[in-house]
Amino acid sequence: MKRPVILDCDPGHDDAISLILALSSAKLDVLAVTTSAGNQTPDKTLNNALRVLTLLGRHDIPVASGAPKPLARELIIADNVHGESGLDGPKLPDPAFEPVQQTAIELMADKVRNSKQPVTLVPTGPLTNIALFLAAHPELHHNIDSIVLMGGAAGVGNWTPAAEFNIFVDPEAADMVFKSGLPIVMCGLDVTHEAQIMDEDIERIRAINNPIAQCVAELLDFFMIYHRDPKWGFTGAPLHDPCTIAWLLNPSLFTSVDCWVGVETKGEYTQGMTVVDRYQLTGKPHNAKVLFNINRTGFVDFIVERLSDY
């Protein structure tokens, strides 16, 4: 039986690749795509989701735009990483269909309410939409299987020394999500920085004889530019968001630890930090399965296998 999922994203190169991977699998039933502001402004992330789904010919999937800004802060975007459009690099088609006339929260509620199986929420951007949905619809929590998110870090950040970008953009929303009591899988920087795509991996993807794989290779060509800065110490580019889809489809690629995770919303230097209690030092009950390691070779093989199915 297919696993029903809702993808909440802010495309973004790695978000786009997550969409492509999720829709390649017969094991996932993508009920809806909702968009958040983050990697770019809300109009651009919505447009990018529609462009990717148009490329895939998936006009059947409802798309809705979510909150235009974080719960209590001004919006920060990552145009330095993802470019002016949010998906700079390949030539993507213009959208061939329109978003639904619902908000992201309304669309999520409809899909969760009407699903015969509990739904997995897969946010790969700031957690604003998820927090608003959970707050507005406590009566639907029973039909949520889990939240598999990309965000946070047990170690160092990538937007500030302490904070990962998605959590830093809206720490109040992240705090609400981690306090929700729902099962959470956290794909943070500890694991995604191991999920690096190298130049030779991009060439392997480019060698796949279909236009979707060619698009992914061109997305990765652009994504590599930012990550070649020597300050990061990367050999390749960390493919953050696709780790969520890889975990859903092949969890054996990962190692994890059940932890308590708190979100810092007030610190002078640590706003947006995820405080991960790996060693049970606080005595607080765990509220997340935190991924720490990945089989990188298996991850690349997984991507190639999924793209080869197009």
Q: For residue range 60-109, what is the model confidence (pLDDT) as tens digits?
A: 999 999 999 999 999 999 888 888 888 999 999 999 999 999 999 999 99
* Cα–Cα separations (whole angstroms), residue 287 to 95, 101, 130, 270: 39, 35, 16, 21
Is pLDDT larger for residue 150 or for residue 267?
Answer: 150
Q: Which of 226, 188, 219, 238 is nearest to 307 (CA)?
A: 219
Give the residue-averaged pLDDT of 28-40: 95
Reported pTM: 0.97
How far is the C-alpha of 217 from the C-alpha of 240, rounded, in Å?
16
**Length of the chain measured in residues:** 310
Q: What is the mean pLDDT of residues 230-247?
A: 94
- Contact criterion met (CB below 8 Å) for 264 and 160: no
Report the percent of the chain where pLDDT is more than 70: 100
- The residues annotated with a catalytic role in the active site are 240
Query: In 3D, which of 132, 135, 110 has the Cα closest to residue 6?
Result: 110
Which one has a higher pLDDT value, 81 or 297? 297
Under DSSP, the state recorded for 69 is S
Amino acid at 38: G
Q: Regarding beta strands 196-197 and 237-238, do their DSSP bridges make them parallel or antiparallel, or are they unpaired? A: antiparallel
Residues of the chain with pLDDT > 90, as a percent, come to: 90
What tens digit of pLDDT does each residue of 101-147 get? 999 999 999 999 999 999 999 999 999 999 999 999 999 999 999 99
Q: Tens digit of pLDDT for each residue in 159-187? A: 999 999 999 999 999 999 999 999 999 99
Q: What is the pLDDT of residue 181?
A: 98
Mean pLDDT of the chain: 96
Q: How many helices (H) and strands (E) are present in the chain, helices listed first?
A: 12, 11
Task: Report how far residue 60's alpha carbon sits from residue 54's, in angstroms, rounded to the nearest whole number.
Answer: 10
Phi, psi of 278 (to 5 degrees): -65, -30
Q: Any idea what the Cα angle at residue 131 is, between residues 158 and 66, rounded to 5°?
A: 85
* Nearest alpha carbon to residue 31 among 98, 90, 116, 93: 116
- Domains of the chain (ranges; CATH) run 3-308 (3.90.245.10)
pLDDT for the residue numbered 85: 85
- Evaluate whether 31 touches 6 at the Cβ level (below 8 Å): yes
| Rg (the chain; Cα; Å) | 18
d(CA 154, CA 279): 11
Residue 2 has pLDDT above 90, yes or no: yes
